[in-house]
Amino acid sequence: MTKNRVVIFLFSIVLLSCLGCGEEGLIDPHGAVELSPPSSEGFQAADFPTSNGSAWTYLNVGFGLYNPGEGEVIQALLEETFTIRIEGTRDISGFTHRQATVSEIKSIVRTDRGEEERVFRAAVDHLSTNARYFRIDSDFLDFDLPLYATYFRNTPQTYTESAFDVYISFLDNPVLHQKHFPPRLIWDFPLQVGKEWTVFETKTSPAHRVIRRVIDADVSITVPAGTYNNAYLVEEEIVGLSQLPALKFSDDSQRLEAANYEPAKYWVVPNLGVVKYQYTYLLTERELTDGVFVNLLFSGDFELSDFELPEDNSR
């Protein structure tokens, strides 16, 4: 990021923190939409849990680089968990939205020196458009910020995300509220094999378009929370990223090798929600050595390890 973009970014953060949430805030629910009974065709909106009190805990286990201090970087086995919980409502542009709060990440780091536990916030929630969230003017930042919460509204046909909170640790009030422009169509029901929809698209330059498509149904999958034989497999693609050459760290994290961006994948189970998701994301134009810039590719693989669903969500 150039110095000018850093200055613009910091100025925007301060300005937005001053503006805050405007007239929006926590209010009594109004304008909520009652879901119609599900039909027999495909995965219906009523099959996707959204009640207050619903919670999903995800686990990511894999090798990565760890800094124990004093500038040393070593390879470690990382076990990361975080929880998404639906709790409360908020008025967004005159409509009641539910709040999905994203917890801190609990990380267990295991090395040949022992085990260490850390709690922190990081941009690991890629359940919506590969973390393409905060932007200045029309351009998304080339790095991600941790999410604190997202705000969604569901109808008998759709699950739409209209706003979000990011967590910026250096602010006095670190939770910064922002609206999506345009809102994001996360789920377009019913889910059926072959169905495709646009999550969001920006018209201003540089343009961005994110699409989702259902590529399979009745998929068997095993995660720490259990084994399911009725999952829908959904792909999510950020159009154009696959055309960018990139490098990624090898499995042993000792070298860089050629790589390609791939669409994210979501395994979604009726009456339970997303049980697993995989994603790759690019950090563009990173400087390796003086004058040498590359696109670095990273990936994540999170599986459902635990969940809480109110009785009205269980079938």
d(CA 56, CA 53): 10
- The confidence band for 233, taking pLDDT boundaries of 50, 70 and 90, is very high
User: Which of the pair, 18 or 281, is modelled with greater confidence?
Assistant: 281
Token digits of residue 65: 């680089």
Q: What pLDDT does 31 receive?
A: 45
Evaluate if residue 18 carries a pLDDT over 50: no
- Half-sphere exposure for 235 (CA within 13 Å, toward CB): 13
Identify the sign of the CA torsion 37, 39, 40, 45: negative
For residues 20-37, b (16+ Cβ closer than 10 Å) or e, as one string?
ebeebeeeeeeeeeebee
H-assigned helices in the chain: 3-19
Q: What pLDDT does 251 receive?
A: 66
Evaluate if residue 135 carries a pLDDT over 80: no
Cβ pair 41, 192 in contact under 8 A: yes
Q: Any bridge partners for residue 274, and if so which?
A: 268
Q: What pLDDT does 76 receive?
A: 67
Q: Region 131-157: what's the mean pLDDT? A: 74
Phi, psi (rounded to 5 degrees) for 200 = -160, 160
- Tell me which range, 165-179, 242-256, 281-295, is most confidently predicted by mean pLDDT: 165-179
User: Which of the pair, 156 or 202, is modelled with greater confidence?
Assistant: 156
DSSP 43: B
To the nearest whole percent, how much of the chain has pLDDT over 70? 70
Token digits of residue 256: 């860089």
Q: Which amino acid is at 218?
A: D
**Tens digits of residue pLDDT in 41-67:** 899 999 999 999 999 999 987 766 666
Q: What pLDDT does 315 receive?
A: 41
